[in-house]
Amino acid sequence: MEAFAIARVQLSFASITATPTGPERFATAFYTALWSETSGTRELFPAGMENMRQRFTTAVGWAVDKLTDVDGLDAFLGQLARDHRKYGVRPEHFRAAGHALLVAVRECTPLILWTAALERTWAEVISHFTETMAVAAAEDDLPAAWGATVVGHERVLADLAIIRLETDTPIPYHAGQYMSVQIPQRPQMWRYLSAAIPPNPQGQIEFHVRRVSTGWVSGGLVSEVVVGDRWTIGPPLGGLQVDQDSGQDVLMIASGTGLAPLRAQIMEMAMRGTNPRTHLFYGGNYPCDLYDLETLWQIAMTNPWLTITPVTEELENPYWHPVPLRETPRGLQEPIQGKLGKVVASFGSWSDHQIQIAGSPSMIRTTLYALSAGGTPRQNISFDPL
């Protein structure tokens, strides 16, 4: 597709999501069209659609952004299609969704931008999305989802838990990937979580979960999950990965449980003989938010290619946190006080590094902004869909 046509589609999508209510309105128009035009599709979705609507608009935005990178786009669409198999979605549903998507785009693009040429371009783009997804889903020979049993649940902070599971059969993921999970306490409410350890033949997997105060599922994950619970886990997604052959050093930036996908990769790298030099900035509000610093310190002590820089906005724990501060082991970096993105950017341009960012959507946005302002090119930076 021509660069001009891609720019036209991207501009019209930006106009749809530019207002505070735009993303919600767009997703509502899509689901209304889908459910009214294709019988049996409503039952595929949970009763509460807030999270699905948000995720739908995010996924379309991500795909539209990737139109200039066809390989990256097709990889993303393929993963998304395989992930949808767990809902019972069949290849013909993707074609029906394509029609509903065109209805939603037409309904939500400002009239002044909508032309016959734009409609044709959108139809072409959507047809590529749906055909790629239908083929990927049809060709997938892996299970649609995996069963897993909770074998450990540890509350490491009041609002953060480390949950360990054993899957019935190993999930073929790579370190850095995430997957959707469904827990018995919140049926049909799938949420994405990143694996915090690399895969192993025993099917052991670990997730780190922080409660989001306005959320439906994270509270249950932190305080209601018990050993013995049976979970359903969707197929692996995402492309965070260290390129061992690029010759570039690695910069990793994590806040909160965003540490999980980076930690899994660091653990996997620690099993190799040689690695690119890797600098992890690990941030939080208080020192106690860096709940896994001890593990990282231990890895760094025996792996000279790894540097860990703790960054916190406050240097003391809050009065209500019972555990005293641990001193930084000799030879490791002392914590730096400040906002994570600004601290990383204060080291200058990271243009010669491959960079991964993981954390909350707002942390990722502010860190991207700080790095770009400091001269780091956007194409060096990878992060999961927000």
Ligand X SMILES: Cc1cc2nc3c(=O)[nH]c(=O)nc-3n(C[C@H](O)[C@H](O)[C@H](O)COP(=O)(O)OP(=O)(O)OC[C@H]3O[C@@H](n4cnc5c(N)ncnc54)[C@H](O)[C@@H]3O)c2cc1C
CA geometry: angle at 192 spanning 187 and 193, to 5°?
A: 110
Task: Report the site for ligand X in 245-304 (rule: CB under 6 A).
Answer: 257, 260
In the complex, minimum distance from the CB of residue 358 to ligand X, in angstroms, rounded to a whole number: 8
Dig out the tokens for 151 from the structure: 């074998």
Residue count, binding to ligand X (CB under 6 A):
21
- In the chain, beta strands by DSSP E: 146-157, 160-167, 178-182, 191-194, 204-210, 230-233, 249-255, 278-284, 306-312, 336-337, 353-358, 381-382
Site for ligand X in 320-339 (CB under 6 A): none
Among 32, 51, 241, 333, binds ligand X (CB under 6 A): 51
Nearest 5 degrees, angle CA 103-CA 58-CA 120? 35
Sequence length of the chain is: 386
Per the CB < 8 A criterion, the answer to whether 219 and 303 are in contact is no
Sequence-distant (6+) residues with CB within 8 A of 381 are: 355, 356, 357, 368, 371
Site for ligand X in 205-224 (CB under 6 A): 207-210, 212, 214-218
Q: Which of 15, 185, 360, 366 binds ligand X (CB under 6 A)?
A: 360
Q: Which residues pair with 202 in a beta bridge?
A: none
Which of 84, 128, 164, 191 touches ligand X (CB under 6 A)? 191
In angstroms, give the least distance from the CB of 344 to ligand X: 19
Q: How far is the CB of 212 from ligand X (least distance, A)?
A: 4
Task: Please select the residue that binds ligand X; options are 34, 193, 251, 262, rule is CB under 6 A.
Answer: 193
Give the number of other CB atoms < 10 A from CB of residue 189: 18
Sole window of 3-11, 190-198, 300-308, 347-355 interacting with ligand X (rule: CB under 6 A): 190-198
Stretch of 85-93, 97-105, 185-193, 314-322 lying at the interface with ligand X (CB under 6 A): 185-193
Q: Cβ of residue 178: shortest distance to ligand X, in angstroms?
A: 4
Phi/psi of residue 238, nearest 5 degrees: 100, 160
Under the binding rule (CB under 6 A), the answer on residue 185 touching ligand X is: no
DSSP annotation of 237? B
φ, ψ of residue 17 to 5 degrees: the values are -100, 5
Instruction: Tell the smallest beta-carbon distance from residue 291 to ligand X (Å).
Output: 12
Residue with smaller CB distance to ligand X, 52 or 103: 52
What are the residues binding ligand X (CB under 6 A)? Answer: 51, 178, 191-194, 207-210, 212, 214-218, 257, 260, 360, 384-385
